[in-house]
Amino acid sequence: MSHSNQSSTSFFLSGLPGLEAVYVWFSIPLWTMYTASLAGNILILWVVKSETSLHQPMYYFLSMLAVTDLGLSASTLPTMITIYMLGVKEVAVDTCLAQLFFIHTFSIMESSVLLTMAFDRFVAISNPLRYGTILTNPRIASLGLAIVVRSIGLHIPAPIMLRKLPYCQKRQLSHSYCLHPDVMKLACTDTHVNSAYGLFVVLSTLGVDSVLIVLSYGLILCTVLSIASKAERLKALNTCVSHICSVLLFYTPMIGLSMIHRFGKWASPCSRVLLSYLHFLTPPVLNPVVYTIKTKQIRLRMLHIFQSGGPSIRGTRGH
């Protein structure tokens, strides 16, 4: 089977099949989503940084989520814009490998941050009196560093291993950005090692994180049910709503996409592409919206920004 010289290999990305005539129009909502993601997450970071009353573990973790969402948006946008706005589908191999590294790294970071936020909610509900002594600033910084090291360390081998593979003449990818399984399928050689490595990374990160998040909420539910007052139970559960929404936004499209790739041979290529867009594009856009709507402290400060043009509001407290 023929393959090209690795140094000159290019890959060809895919847009929405059959809708090439409206690609330019599709770039408008893409730019809108990216702008909304950029504005929303930067605003979250600005509010948390500016307000000393928000210098608490929950909002530090929210800031980590905002940074991760910004990174995920910046990783997927470049090739999508070149496809839908410029009609350019070819991407150099090194650019493709760099993109898949950042996409997968920020995806794992997002999963890790969601896990730490679940732990934060568990501590806040099960042991509120020791919340500040358990989640101290040094420990939060250590958790953030661990998330970065874990995400980057696990994905450094991916582009290196893919770079060494010979690729066939047909180099058509099935998404608008480069993903590890997608690129690996184009190799003209045995990829069992790459496949096993990819499976190990997924199971040890997204798989473990999702199980621990479910376990955390099981423990949270047990704690909440032991509270005598119905009003207190509802108040405790209400503090988890924003995080639960973020978890669902991140994991639901990913699980659906995984099911379609494995069992949905009947599914159209267009539905697979749209589901992948939901997975990578909607969390960065909707997470700031969810936390602004459901978190009183964030909402009050956002309102103050739009009313007075400044991030600071003094003497306002709310939970």
**Sequence-distant (≥ 6) Cβ neighbours of residue 46 within 8 angstroms:** 311
- Integer CA distances (angstroms), 8 to 178, 189, 193, 297, in order: 17, 18, 24, 53
Q: Are 70 and 42 in contact (CB under 8 A)?
A: yes
Residue range 87-106, pLDDT digits in tens: 888 999 999 999 999 999 99
Identify the bridge partners of residue 90 per DSSP, sorted by sequence position.
12
CA angle (157, 97, 256) in 5-degree steps: 90
Res 114 pLDDT > 60 = yes
Q: What is the maximum alpha-carbon separation in the chain?
A: 71
In a domain, 139, yes or no: yes
We report the CATH number of the domain holding residue 175 as 1.20.1070.10
Residue range 212-259, pLDDT digits in tens: 999 999 999 999 988 868 888 888 888 899 999 999 999 988 887 777
Identify the bridge partners of residue 172 per DSSP, sorted by sequence position.
12
Residue range 64-90, pLDDT digits in tens: 999 999 999 999 988 998 898 888 889
In a domain, 2, yes or no: no
pLDDT at 261: 62
At residue 58, the 3 state secondary structure works out as: helix
Q: Please measure the distance between the N-terminal and C-terminal CA atoms of the chain and give it in whole angstroms.
A: 64
Q: Which domain holds residue 98?
A: 7-308
In a domain, 97, yes or no: yes
Q: What is the mean pLDDT of the chain?
A: 86
**Sequence-distant (≥ 6) Cβ neighbours of residue 240 within 8 angstroms:** 121, 125, 217, 220
Alpha carbon distance 76, 189 (integer Å): 28
Alpha carbon distance 165, 278 (integer Å): 30
User: What pTM did the predictor assign?
Assistant: 0.89
Alpha carbon distance 124, 117 (integer Å): 10
Which residue is it, tokens 């978890």?
A: 247
pLDDT at 196: 92
In a domain, 315, yes or no: no
Residue range 123-135, pLDDT digits in tens: 999 988 899 899 9
Split at pLDDT 50, 70, 90, the class of 308 is low
In a domain, 162, yes or no: yes
Residues in the chain: 319
Res 313 pLDDT > 60 = no
Domain count, the chain: 1
Q: Give me the long-range contacts of 254-257 (CB less than 8 A, separation at least 24).
A: 254/206, 254/279
Res 316 pLDDT > 50 = no
**Sequence-distant (≥ 6) Cβ neighbours of residue 276 within 8 angstroms:** 175, 253, 257
pLDDT at 255: 81
pLDDT at 191: 87
Identify the bridge partners of residue 12 per DSSP, sorted by sequence position.
90, 172
In a domain, 174, yes or no: yes
pLDDT at 319: 40
Q: Please state the three-class secondary structure of 159-200 as a single string.
A: HHHHHCCCEECCCECCCCCCCHHHHHCCECCCCHHHHHHHHH
**Sequence-distant (≥ 6) Cβ neighbours of residue 54 within 8 angstroms:** 47, 48, 297, 298, 301
Split at pLDDT 50, 70, 90, the class of 315 is very low
In a domain, 319, yes or no: no
Alpha carbon distance 236, 204 (integer Å): 30
In a domain, 165, yes or no: yes
